[in-house]
Amino acid sequence: MKITRIDIEGPNGTATITRDGRDIRIDGRRLVKAVEAKDGRTALVSEGFQLVGDARDAEANAQVARILQATLDGYRGTNGDVADYLRVIQSFED
């Protein structure tokens, strides 16, 4: 079995993780703010982000997982929170 792509979602955004050679690429969108219109509808404003991990550098991927967790969850989490994101990133490591 070969994993080629994983989509993940947090309360504040979504991301797609892929591997390109030695790079583990993470492309996503995170919620910036919600704007309420006069008619009662809400428009969500989001922005894109990119992170790059290294398939051969576990320490760098741990840091990428911390950034990804904070970006998608909207807060700086504990080691347990980060571990969930790290496991997904590790599935792309050598």
Tell me what the mean pLDDT of segment 69-83 comes to. Answer: 91
Global confidence as pTM: 0.84
- Annotated domain spans of the chain: 5-90
Query: pLDDT per residue over 5-27, tens digit each?
Result: 999 999 999 999 999 889 999 99
Residue 6: CB atoms within 10 Å:
14
